[in-house]
A and B are shown apart, each in its own frame.
Chain A
Amino acid sequence: MIVQLVFSGLALGSMYALVALGYNITYATSQTVNFSQGQSVMVGAVVAYALHVGAGWPLVPSVLVTLGALAVLGVLVERVAVRPFLRASSIAWLLATIALGIIAENVAMLVFGKDARAFPSDLAVRPWTVLGAGVYPHELLVPAVGVGLMILVELAFRRTLAGRALRAVAFSHDAARLMGIDVTRTISVAYAASSVLAGVAGILLAPLLNVSATMGTTIGLKAFAVAIIGGIESARGIVVAGVLYGIVEAVVAGYLGTGVREILGFALVVLVLLLRPWGLFGVPAPRRV
């Protein structure tokens, strides 16, 4: 039973981690997050559905076009809901991104339709038996792609010029500007990347969950919890926290009952905020004077 529960938690947990990584990227560069990340997950699933199932495109071009669309969406979110307020040093970006998320959800209801649809995947039809537990191959694909992407993101951060620019901006806007880095554009890129990550999560989730206009809301929220627990400035912390959160959720639901799951999960968030506001794996920020 425990193996089964761990498998269940693994797929969902790596999903949380992917989405939470998006929070991390934008927070590190601009101290803002896109609170419509959950809806970006949904947009990823819905656009991929429209192209692959609706228009009958093959899978690969559907996925590529979807991710392109998500990058554009990320840039738009930053331009419309974050940049104007960041300039004014206001935290209205918080409400503005939530508002955009609600708009996205309602637009999806109008355009995509109102009921949940199935996204076919050959990997989610016949379950495999692994260590005595049943698991859809697709559920194993999710953490595999998830971890792969995280490593890629980490490498990109350290090895590429754009990645270094992102890190420089994260360190200090002024210093980065002095080094000739276009801070505004870098933040824009961070939002695009964050949105693409959510889109990947959406496409991966689509065959497991059903595709619907409201599918992303809970995921966005739980991913934020994961980001807080792991430490929003620590990419590795988020990955570990995401996977752990998913597994703990499943194990708690399995042994204690589903009623307790949400209570324990979010109580943990409050606890972490109280005791270690920088997250379990983060480091306390030195105070700049």
Chain B
Amino acid sequence: MRRVTLLGLVLLLPGLLVLQATTGWTQAKPPITVALVAAMSGGSALSGEAIKRGLTVAIDEINARGGLLGGRKVELAIRDEEGNPAKGVTAARDVIEREKAVAVFGGLHSPVGLAMLPVFHELKVPYVGTWAAATGITRNGRNPNFMFRVSANDDIVDHFLVKHVTEALKKGKPGVILENTPWGASNQEGLTKWFTKAGIQPVGIEKFNWNDPDMSPQLLRLRQGGADAIVMVANAPEGAQVVKSKAKIGWNVPIVSHWGISGGRFAELTGELSESVVFVQTYSFFGKQGPVGERVIAALKAKYGLKGPEDILAPVGTANAYDAMHLVALAIEKAGAADGARVRDALESLGEHRGLIKTYRRPFTPEEHDALNENDYILVTWRQGKIVPVATK
């Protein structure tokens, strides 16, 4: 027994020394914690991983420059919300109250973002969305509004999709298929609004549940109604089922999709059928890159062993998160303190920032909490499993 404790002490000793060394160092400059609450597991797990990578690359850059607020390093706390709103609420509370996060980044699932909204207002810490696009996340009627986003906004995406269907494809009888969730509802509202403004009535609006295996009943209803194009709002697993069911019933109309399908292995799940879908992104790592793009790709290659842009899965997550982290860092510097409420105020009055997706003139204003708009969206498709831009104009 005694020998065991002695041995234990001997083994502990170097550990204690290291511990002392690091705490001695960090006590002088406590780190600043930011958090990511996103789906790190489940069918959309890739989105969480992509966001984590974007944040990490940006944080590495910031820390290499010496951190923020006079030498404080930035640290990232990650929580998995599993696509479950209740778990998101608990996780948001946890990272703010226990880990003292000064800003929380959000993941792919809109229902989770919407559910967490009251927590950020109660605890006065800004949320910066990097993926979830539900209109109501940022346009929520709160004042002050703690919800920001560097990502798409459903309302703006819906306008973009409607414009593509009616103007580029010149289709007049679109059918809509969307998931039976708050995110689907957010898009149902947006699509209906913009189609109506274009003087077009969708022939049908069909819904499906998560994990539904076969979408042919819904598609048959749309075909019966005479649809000449499909607007789809789905994540990767269900989007794949829609595309496979559509091929099965031998129906050949174009699918224009919101971007949820890029959050999983859509191309693997659908094979060559993936090439029949065009969808929205905020950024593409393919093609000629600016200096920031080159730098981010190099960092991703070095850190995660990627071979090239084709290995950047769920690229919007990475791109949005990278810019979002840098904007938050600027706001922390401007606020002069690691304090959620002051960071929020600072976010609304940032100046010009040369980011990855674009050069932000003034990223956020008190009225506009979405840093990206439809001029920043691009239309893409899959070619041999890679996301490539589609020439539209």
Residues of A participating in the B interface, judged by any CB pair closer than 8 Å: 1, 4-5, 8, 11-12, 109, 113-118, 125, 127, 129, 133-136, 205, 208-210, 212-215, 217-218, 250-251, 253-254, 257-259, 262
Given A12-B214, A114-B40, A253-B218, also A4-B249 (CB < 8 A): yes
Instruction: Give the residue name and chain of the A residue nearest to B205 (CB).
Output: A257
C-alpha spacing A109/B217, complex, angstroms:
30
Additional pairs, 19, CB under 8 Å, beyond known A115-B43, A116-B265: A4-B220, A4-B249, A114-B41, A114-B43, A115-B42, A117-B269, A118-B240, A118-B265, A127-B249, A134-B248, A135-B248, A208-B213, A209-B213, A210-B240, A213-B41, A250-B216, A254-B217, A258-B180, A258-B208
Return the CB mask of B247-291 against A: 1 if under 8 Å, else 0.
Answer: 111100000000000001100111100000000000000000000
C-alpha spacing A208/B244, complex, angstroms:
9
Pairwise interchain contact B42-A5, C-beta atoms closer than 8 A: no
Residues of B within 8 A of A253 (CB): 217-218
Instruction: Give the residue name and chain of the B residue nearest to A127 (CB).
Output: B248
C-alpha spacing A166/B122, complex, angstroms:
61
Output the residue of B42, B46, B217 with the most chain A CB within 10 A.
Answer: B217
8 contacts between A and B (CB under 8 A): A1-B224, A12-B213, A114-B41, A115-B42, A118-B271, A214-B43, A253-B218, A258-B212
Pairwise interchain contact B211-A214, C-beta atoms closer than 8 A: yes
C-alpha spacing A262/B247, complex, angstroms:
25
- Does B343 belong to the interface (CB within 8 Å)? no
C-alpha spacing A116/B237, complex, angstroms:
7
Q: Which of B44, B180, B206, B268 contacts A117 (CB 8 A)?
A: B268
Query: What is the distance, in angstroms, from B177's C-beta to the closest C-beta of chain A?
Result: 10
Pairwise interchain contact B217-A212, C-beta atoms closer than 8 A: no
Pairwise interchain contact B218-A258, C-beta atoms closer than 8 A: yes
Interface pairs A-B: 10 shortest CB-CB: A114-B45, A253-B217, A254-B217, A114-B41, A116-B237, A134-B248, A134-B250, A127-B248, A134-B249, A115-B45
C-alpha spacing A41/B248, complex, angstroms:
24
Query: How many residues on B have C-beta within 8 angstroms of the other chain's C-beta atoms?
Result: 36
Query: What is the distance, in angstroms, from A105's C-beta to the closest C-beta of chain B?
Result: 10
Residues of B within 8 A of A1 (CB): 220, 224
Pairwise interchain contact B237-A257, C-beta atoms closer than 8 A: no
Given A109-B41, A127-B250, also A4-B216 (CB < 8 A): yes
Output the residue of A117, A127, A205, A210 with the most chain B CB within 10 A.
Answer: A210
Residues of B within 8 A of A8 (CB): 214, 216-217
C-alpha spacing A12/B209, complex, angstroms:
16
- Does B221 belong to the interface (CB within 8 Å)? yes
Residues of A within 8 A of B42 (CB): 109, 114-115, 212-214
- Does B37 belong to the interface (CB within 8 Å)? no
Summarize A's interface: helix, strand, loop or mixed: mixed
- Does B236 belong to the interface (CB within 8 Å)? yes
Given A218-B211, A258-B206, A259-B207, also A115-B248 (CB < 8 A): no
Query: What is the distance, in angstroms, from B269's C-beta to the closest C-beta of chain A?
Result: 5
Given A117-B268, A214-B42, A258-B208, also A5-B217 (CB < 8 A): yes
C-alpha spacing A253/B209, complex, angstroms:
12
Return the CB mask of B155-192 against A: 1 if under 8 Å, else 0.
Answer: 00000000000000000000000001000000000000
Query: What is the distance, in angstroms, from B331's C-beta to the closest C-beta of chain A?
Result: 32
Residues of A within 8 A of B270 (CB): 118
Residues of B within 8 A of A127 (CB): 247-250
C-alpha spacing A136/B46, complex, angstroms:
29
Residues of B within 8 A of A4 (CB): 216, 220, 249
Pairwise interchain contact A250-B217, C-beta atoms closer than 8 A: yes
Pairwise interchain contact A133-B237, C-beta atoms closer than 8 A: no
C-alpha spacing A263/B265, complex, angstroms:
31
Pairwise interchain contact A115-B265, C-beta atoms closer than 8 A: yes
Query: What is the distance, in angstroms, from B107's C-beta to the closest C-beta of chain A?
Result: 13
Given A116-B264, A253-B217, A254-B221, also A212-B249 (CB < 8 A): no
Residues of B within 8 A of A12 (CB): 213-214
C-alpha spacing A113/B211, complex, angstroms:
17
C-alpha spacing A251/B220, complex, angstroms:
11
